[in-house]
Chain A
Amino acid sequence: MKLSEDHNIDREILLEAERLFYTYEGESTPALNGLSLTIKRGKKIACMGANGSGKSTFFLCCNGIYTPSSGSLYLSGRPVGRTKKDLLMLRRKVGIVFQDPDRQLFAASVRQEISFGPLNLGFSEEETRRRVDAVMEELGITAYAHKPVHALSGGQKKLVSIADILVMEPELIILDEPAAALDPFYTEMVHQITRRITERGITVMMATHDVNYAYEWADEIILFDEGRILRQGHPAGLFSDHALLKKTHLTPPMLLTVFHQLQSRNLIREKSPAPRNMEELKSRLTSPPDTQEQNGFPASPPDTQEQNSCLAQQEELSI
């Protein structure tokens, strides 16, 4: 096969989808409508797009749960067939953390739940036990190793469902809206775990509706629209395209809006690239001429006031 030989050359590419079509049984419109994309090794990728744009459906195709009616999938350059061996290889390399933990967790105790994957991969009980313990230690869930799954809170269940996949050590971890229905504490925890997963060299693909988080976290944003990829690119460029955002029910991230407002009022140093987080934004502000403290009280120079009012204005705008 000519194509797959070409693919072999690019070791950067982990997963590639080529014109995938998928229609749910009894539906008239396809959920995946000629979707093509490439996923590079080691990247942090955010999948965004309106409800029903096909993100979850695509994820299940990535893992061989759904068989696309046409189109092909390449894993590290090799086409993935429908044979048992190919599917097993795909599922070993690509793990999905489902959106609803109750949909994923089947076992009665946390330890047993996490042990399911490694045992299926053919590890001995000894090795499985070691891996399960290590993952539980890493995610800080050792304390409820012997608890029944139904006695856990939503956030704890989420951590267990991440551990389920992490313990199998896949090359690509797909998180389907990991922070949905989590409180700020567990949201932050999941974000931290995501960061650590990436540091270990695992590629992470995440569906999320949180534009602010996606903007800050992702190396690459993939915009889904009606079963296709509308755009795949760097967050700053993509989120500056308002027509595009409108089409996919997204709003620009707060940080970027504030940045553009400040820029238009010449409060930002000339030609600085868009900041990715609050720290970067702060460092790009032009230092106001007289911000020295007077009599121990911080001065409020007109510039800062203007910045504040500009921020306030921005908030009104976004409301």
Chain B
Amino acid sequence: MIIIDRLCYCSKLRYVNAGEKSAFTVLTLAACILSRSCAVALFVLAATGVLTVYKGGLPLFRYLKLMSMPAAFLLLGTAAIFINISKVPLGAFAFSAGSYYITGSFQGLRQGAELILTALAGISCLYFLSLSTPVTDILTVLKRLHVPALILELMLLIYRYIFVMLKLAEDITVSQHARLGNRNLAASRKSFAAMVSSIFILSIRRSGQLYDALESRCYNGTLRVLPEDHPAKASEVFCIAVFELFLYLAVIFLKLSGGMP
């Protein structure tokens, strides 16, 4: 999460209007979920990959590394769909193990592949957004969509203080290690507990202090800040519209041709 935050501030797409990027993400994500087809998923994967790596300027290996984390998780998660344990061997593959077979059907394989690809495509959409759009810009979009101010302020403060608290946790951990707080399992368990409780206390104190600091700048109940706005470009909007139109036509065509169960 921290690395994503750092990368998004370097993205070449950072100053593209956040509304455009969010609309693209949401629409494409919805297309993936609606279609549940390998073709659409592969197409979306390619499109977002090109956008993030080529247009956004993210190093390819970074992107692959980021994608590999959810991919590994998905593979493990869908293993149950691929692999069956049964007394009769199924179509796709079978290994005998005693009187049982570890086996899988073509149907299961296809279902698994669809699931993985769709999920990966969805993740790549979200990566596209989070690797190109800082949280502040997303908040501006949400504000335009009339999300309640309270929720937005909470999001802003949580986002900011994640980093303050992480730094605190890091400092405490370092100081514990410096005093051999992790010399064995029991000690490190104790140290960890001490760290968590002190962070809890510190964060309560911090919140009081932050409130004081806000008040000293005439805080009156709403956190008003300048919106981070970058004007939308007609050409970009046009490209996104064409892309989505094509994508949705493909989805509808696939649904109508009824190929997908």
| A and B: interacting chains | yes
**A interface list, Cβ under 8 A from B:** 60, 63-65, 88, 91-92, 95-96, 98, 102-109, 111-113, 115-117, 119-121, 125, 128-129, 132, 146-151, 164-165, 168
Is B223 a contact of A125 with CB atoms below 8 Å? no
Is B212 a contact of A106 with CB atoms below 8 Å? no
Known: A112-B225, A115-B226. 20 other contacts (CB 8 A): A60-B216, A64-B215, A91-B218, A103-B213, A104-B210, A106-B160, A106-B213, A108-B135, A108-B136, A108-B160, A109-B134, A109-B136, A111-B228, A112-B226, A116-B223, A119-B224, A119-B226, A120-B217, A148-B9, A150-B163
Contact partners of A63 in chain B: CB under 8 A: 216
Chain B 65-114 residues near chain A, CB threshold 8 A: none
Is B5 a contact of A112 with CB atoms below 8 Å? no
29 contacts between A and B (CB under 8 A): A60-B212, A63-B216, A64-B215, A65-B216, A92-B218, A102-B164, A102-B167, A106-B214, A107-B136, A107-B156, A107-B160, A108-B135, A111-B228, A115-B224, A116-B214, A116-B223, A117-B218, A120-B217, A120-B218, A120-B219, A121-B218, A125-B226, A147-B9, A148-B5, A148-B136, A150-B164, A164-B217, A168-B217, A168-B218
Is B135 a contact of A65 with CB atoms below 8 Å? no
Residue of A nearest to B220 (CB): A120
Contact partners of B167 in chain A: CB under 8 A: 102, 150
Contact partners of A65 in chain B: CB under 8 A: 212, 215-216
Partner of B217, one of A103, A117, A150: A117
Contact partners of A115 in chain B: CB under 8 A: 224-226
**B interface list, Cβ under 8 A from A:** 5-6, 9, 134-136, 139, 156-157, 159-160, 163-164, 167, 206, 209-210, 212-220, 223-228
Bound Cα distance A311, B9 (Å): 53
What are the nearest 7 A-B pairs in CB distance?
A150-B163, A112-B225, A115-B226, A120-B218, A119-B224, A104-B213, A108-B136
Contact partners of A109 in chain B: CB under 8 A: 134, 136, 228
CB of B209, distance to nearest CB on chain A (Å) = 5
Partner of A128, one of B157, B219, B226: B226
Contact partners of A108 in chain B: CB under 8 A: 134-136, 139, 156, 159-160
Given the known interface contacts A111-B228, A116-B225, A125-B226, the answer about A98 and B213 at a Cβ–Cβ threshold of 8 Å is: yes
DSSP majority for the A interface? helix
Is A113 a contact of B225 with CB atoms below 8 Å? yes
CB of B224, distance to nearest CB on chain A (Å) = 4
Bound Cα distance A148, B6 (Å): 9
Is A132 a contact of B226 with CB atoms below 8 Å? yes
Contact partners of B6 in chain A: CB under 8 A: 151
Bound Cα distance A117, B215 (Å): 10
CB of B210, distance to nearest CB on chain A (Å) = 6
Contact partners of B5 in chain A: CB under 8 A: 148
CB of B257, distance to nearest CB on chain A (Å) = 47
Partner of A116, one of B160, B210, B217: B217
Is A91 a contact of B217 with CB atoms below 8 Å? yes
Contact partners of A96 in chain B: CB under 8 A: 213, 216
Given the known interface contacts A111-B228, A132-B226, A151-B9, the answer about A106 and B157 at a Cβ–Cβ threshold of 8 Å is: yes
CB of A59, distance to nearest CB on chain B (Å) = 9
Bound Cα distance A60, B160 (Å): 24
Bound Cα distance A115, B160 (Å): 16
Identify the interface centre among B6, B139, B164, B217: most chain A CB within 10 Å of its CB: B217
Contact partners of B212 in chain A: CB under 8 A: 60, 65
Given the known interface contacts A98-B213, A112-B225, A120-B218, the answer about A103 and B206 at a Cβ–Cβ threshold of 8 Å is: yes
Is A107 a contact of B225 with CB atoms below 8 Å? yes
